Amino acid sequence: MYAHLYFDSGTAVGEIVRDITRLITSCTSTTASLSGLEFINTSSSTVVGGNSGWSLNANSPAIPSTGTAVSLNDSNFILEATCTDTSKTKYCGIHVNASWTDSSIVTGTAASFTISSVLDPGAATELWSNGYTGTAASIYDVNGLVGNATHSVNGIHIFADSTRILMHGLDGNNETVFMGVAEFAETSTTTHQSLVPQCNFLVNEMRRGDINETVSYRGDGAAVWDDQAGSISFFQLLEATYSYNPSWLGKIRWAGWHADAATTAERYGGAFRLRASLDDSTTTGSITDYQTVGLGQQNNAGMLQHASTLSLWGTNVLDNTYASTSLGDNLWGRNTALAYDSSGNVGLAIRKIFWEVEPNWNNDVLDISGVSNFWRCAAALGSDGDTITIGSDVYVYLNMDPSTAKTLGAFLIKRT
């Protein structure tokens, strides 16, 4: 299912969360339709494709019936879908990116909404992978999308099938954000340890952070986001990887990396993880060695995962002024780059989205594109929402920084 939704100025963030959740869960196994939505601009919004594959989890708050005034009941919902390995089920949450108990925020128009991975829905150990829990206006409108026309004047692009939910729009700083949950191909680790292969991410190519903070789970009071005034690219795993390190052995309850700025030890930035925890049957896991370098904390910050961060976060993670005229274009997909098939036919150059797990844990490379069907490609090749047909499949083109022809500055997403 692919939808392009428009919400008028003045639409409450809780109303947007309700409509998006209703849209996705109303077409679990049927054809998607906008007929049940209450708050969209019906003359501008469109939907294409079949079913979403996601249903409302039994432990989620119920979606209020049509005509019900927006309230705290619209602050968060939990969805579920069967993985490619049908013995496994993955969960995600669509929610207001601020306090869920402050009515003025949920019924107001200023806060953003976001999407998280969710563990143990309905249990005492329920855990959401990201989100701000406070009430500060300078924080709650970033690291998510502000969906009404005050900001996302060009609408919100939503992709949902049984492998993923992806969203594209603007945050409260009018910076382009691409976020979602996505299944990746099973690895030897996820197979052997019976882990659910799902990641959670956010991409914003306008900003990088520093290495003083961390990507946190929702409710973590020690650190919310690296840059609380702007959306910082991040990648998160909840019980989706495992450490075989004898000094730190076990299933990793939560781990997250953010885009860090240049450091004195490294010319360019990259991915950084300040801490991670092992599963110990508690909500947030063990704090033993959770900030020890090489165990819970990443070793050699900025040196690892350049290839995977470039494939997901784009070239801006290396240099804020990366330009399409840079020598680096030769490696990272300039807007004039071409690809060739085995017969020599010319095509669009694309790059797979993947993530390398640090080798001190295991040797997995998480193939996201192969399952969830989205890729990196050059920016400024067209407008947001343009489509490309490859064989019998239709792909939607979305820029991340349309003002420049950045290398690998756009995504190509299969429309289902």
φ, ψ for residue 374, nearest 5 deg: -145, 150
Q: What torsion do the CA atoms of 162, 164, 170, 176 make, to the nearest 10 degrees?
A: -140
Mapping DSSP to helix (H, G, I), strand (E, B) and coil, where does residue 239 land? coil
Q: What region does 232 belong to: left with phi over 0, alpha with psi -120 to 50, or beta?
A: beta
pLDDT of residue 326: 56
Rounded distance between C-alpha atoms, residue 52 and residue 31, angstroms: 8
Rounded distance between C-alpha atoms, residue 164 and residue 389, angstroms: 20
pLDDT of residue 214: 74
List C-alpha distances in Å: 86 to 90, 327, 368: 10, 45, 18
Round the average pLDDT of the chain to a whole number and report it: 89
Determine how many CB atoms are found less than 10 A away from the CB of residue 398: 25
CA 102 to chain centre: 25
Q: What is the DSSP string of 96-135?
A: ESS-SS-HHHHTSSS--EEEEEEESTTSTT-EES----S-
pLDDT of residue 300: 66
The pLDDT confidence band at residue 268, using thresholds 50, 70 and 90, is: low
pLDDT beyond 70 at 111: yes
pLDDT of residue 264: 45
CB-based burial of residue 194 (10 Å sphere; 0-12 exposed, 13-18 middle, 19+ buried)? exposed
Q: What torsion do the CA atoms of 283, 28, 105, 175 make, to the nearest 10 degrees?
A: 100
Average pLDDT over residues 17-26: 98
Q: What is the pTM of this model?
A: 0.95
Please count the structural domains in the chain: 1
**Residue 138 per-residue DSSP state:** H
pLDDT of residue 44: 97
Rounded distance between C-alpha atoms, residue 405 and residue 375, angstroms: 17
pLDDT tens profile 125-147: 999 999 999 999 989 999 999 99
Identity at 276, one-letter amino acid code: A
Identity at 65, one-letter amino acid code: S
The domain in which residue 323 lies consists of: 2-415
Rounded distance between C-alpha atoms, residue 232 and residue 171, angstroms: 11
pLDDT tens profile 325-362: 555 555 555 667 788 889 999 888 888 999 999 888 99
The pLDDT confidence band at residue 381, using thresholds 50, 70 and 90, is: confident
CA 293 to chain centre: 26
List C-alpha distances in Å: 348 to 217, 329, 340, 342, 404: 37, 15, 8, 14, 18
CB-based burial of residue 244 (10 Å sphere; 0-12 exposed, 13-18 middle, 19+ buried)? middle
Strand spans (E) along 270-368: 270-272, 276-278, 338-340, 346-348, 350-352, 354-356, 365-367
Checking DSSP bridges between strand 346-348 and strand 276-278, what pairing results, if any? unpaired
pLDDT tens profile 199-240: 999 999 888 766 566 787 887 754 445 567 889 899 999 999
Average pLDDT over residues 266-279: 78
Provide the β-strand partners of residue 304: none
More confident residue, 11 or 379: 11
Identity at 183, one-letter amino acid code: E
Mapping DSSP to helix (H, G, I), strand (E, B) and coil, where does residue 66 land? coil
pLDDT beyond 50 at 396: yes
